[in-house]
Amino acid sequence: MTDTPTLKRLAAEHAVGFVQSGMTIGLGTGSTAIFATREIAARIHRGELGGITAIATSRPVHEEAVRLGIPMLGEDLPEALDLTIDGADEIDPALDVIKGGGGALLREKIVAQASARVILVADDSKLSPALGTKFVLPVEVLEYGWRSQARFIAGLGATVAPRMAADGGMARTDQGNLLLDCRFGVIADAPALAIELDARAGIVANGLFLGIATDVIVAGADGIRHLRRRQ
């Protein structure tokens, strides 16, 4: 049986096959997407890819990409992106996903929405019959008034818990905001929930990525599957 880290690496390396020389690409955050960043760097150094520029979805990924020698764009995102490769926490049959387990959901969504193609990479444990079955919904909120946002989300039917950091304090995003992990159970109407969350002042971003992924590369014991969004 192939172990999970190997499956993640295989999915990420397969996705890098869609990267072509001259592309401007988004580099995702998380334990699967980092394999893609490393593979892109390796292909650049072997001379298989040239003219690549990239933007990272989190500071740790940016630092790793710089260390690996990938040319990087400025954080103002001066160009549209050809392709983004990122991970996912939960993927439903329509290729809608929950993201944000790594705390980079706002930057991930900005980069994804600026991309002509978004390829998500995952092992098959991330596949789910419905969003919310396996994973909580991360929501990024301003520190100011955050308890008000927690009460609002609880009123929508979730059990809400602030995400904690390893030092015992509240976890913070690259923007200095707080994260609420919201357990809704199975989300019956994800588009309606996203609209309610997006309309609330103080909520900066939610982890529902709906209609965004164009492709999903899934690695499992039976090999690699390429899932495509239905048009």
Report yes or no: 82 and 127 within 8 Å, Cβ to Cβ.
no
- Is 35 within 8 Å of 13 (Cβ atoms)? yes
Q: How many CB atoms are closer than 10 A to CB 162?
A: 15
* Cα distances (angstroms) measured from residue 86 to each of 180, 186, 192: 21, 23, 25
Q: Any catalytic annotation for residue 108?
A: yes
Q: Residues 6 or more apart from 209 whose CB is under 8 A from it?
A: 88, 96, 97, 98, 99, 108, 109, 112
CA neighbours closer than 13 Å in the CB half-sphere of residue 41: 19
Q: Output the CA angle 83-86-87, nearest 5 degrees.
A: 155
Find out whether 28 and 86 touch, Cβ atoms under 8 Å: yes
Spot the catalytic one: 108, 140, 143, 196. 108
Contact by Cβ (8 Å): 136, 162: no
Distance CA 6, CA 2 (A): 7
Residues 6+ positions from 52 with CB-CB distance below 8 Å: 19, 21, 22, 23, 24, 25, 40, 44, 70, 71
> What is the set of active-site residues?
108
